[in-house]
Structure 1
Amino acid sequence: MSLLIAAEHLYRHYGKYCAVNDVSFSLAKGQVLGFLGPNGAGKTTTMQMLTGNLAASSGHIKINGFDIQRQAQQAKACIGYLPDTPPLYRELTTDEFLSYCARLHGLDSPAATLAVKQAKARCGLGEVGKRLIGNLSKGYQQRIGIAQAILHNPDIIILDEPTVGLDPLQIRDIRALIRELGADHGVILSTHILSEVQESCSHVQIIHQGQLILSESIAGLNARMDTGILLVTTQQPADVNRLSAIAGVNRIESLDAQRIRIHHSLTTNPSEALAETIINAGWGLQEITPAKQSMEDIFILLTQQNNG
Structure 2
Amino acid sequence: MSIEVSNITKIYGQQKALNDVSFKINNPEIVGFLGPNGAGKSTMMKILTTYLEASEGKANVNSYDVLNSKKEVQKSVGYLPEDNSLYTDLYVKEYLGFNANVYGVKKERIQDVIALTGLTPEAHKKIGQLSKGYRQRVGLANALLHNPEVLILDEPTTGLDPNQLVDIRRLIRTIGKEKTVFLSTHIMQEVEAMCDRVIIINKGEVVADKYLEDLRKGQEQVVVVEFDYRVEDAFLLKLPKVKSVTNPHGFIYEITFSTSEDMRSHVFDFAHDNKLKILQLNQKNASLESLFRELTS
TM-score by length of 1: 0.74
Contact in 2 for aligned 1:4/1:63 (Cα 8 Å): yes
Report what 2:152 is aligned to.
158
| Structure 2 residue identity aligned to 1:178 | I
In structure 2, distance between residues paired with 1:82 and 1:25: 21
1:225 is displaced (CA, Å) by: 3.9
Q: Give the structure with higher Rg (CA).
A: 1
| Structure 2 residue identity aligned to 1:97 | Y
In structure 1, distance between residues paired with 2:103 and 2:186: 30
Report what 2:100 is aligned to.
102
Contact in 1 for aligned 2:4/2:23 (Cα 8 Å): yes
SS in 1 for 2:165: helix
Report what 2:295 is aligned to.
302
Q: 1:79 aligns with which of 74, 77, 86?
A: 77
1:46 and 2:36 aligned: no
Report what 1:216 is aligned to.
210
Q: 1:64 to 1:91 in 2, by over 3 A?
A: same
SS in 1 for 2:176: helix
SS in 2 for 1:69: coil
In structure 1, distance between residues paired with 2:114 and 2:19: 38
Gaps of 5+ in 2: 222-257, 261-284
1:17 and 2:1 aligned: no
* CA deviations over 1:20-64 (Å, ceiling 9, x no partner): 111111111110000000110100000000100000001101111
Q: 1:9 to 1:224 in 2, by over 3 A?
A: farther
Contact in 2 for aligned 1:82/1:158 (Cα 8 Å): yes
Report what 1:55 is aligned to.
53
1:136 and 2:130 aligned: yes
Q: 1:172 aligns with which of 166, 171, 174?
A: 166
SS in 1 for 2:177: helix
Contact in 2 for aligned 1:37/1:191 (Cα 8 Å): yes
Report what 1:275 is aligned to.
none
1:223 is displaced (CA, Å) by: 2.9
In structure 1, distance between residues paired with 2:45 and 2:218: 27
Contact in 1 for aligned 2:216/2:287 (Cα 8 Å): no
Q: 1:65 to 1:95 in 2, by over 3 A?
A: same
* CA deviations over 1:100-128 (Å, ceiling 9, x no partner): 11111122xxx1x2111111111100011
In structure 1, distance between residues paired with 2:156 and 2:208: 22
Count of residues in correspondence between the two structures? 236
Report what 2:175 is aligned to.
181
In structure 1, distance between residues paired with 2:91 and 2:219: 46
Report what 2:190 is aligned to.
196
In structure 1, distance between residues paired with 2:31 and 2:42: 14
Q: 1:224 to 1:208 in 2, by over 3 A?
A: farther
SS in 1 for 2:108: helix
In structure 2, distance between residues paired with 1:145 and 1:10: 28
SS in 2 for 1:143: helix
CA RMSD of aligned residues (A): 1.7
Gaps of 5+ in 1: 228-263, 267-291
SS in 1 for 2:121: coil
Contact in 1 for aligned 2:8/2:58 (Cα 8 Å): yes
Percent identity, please: 41
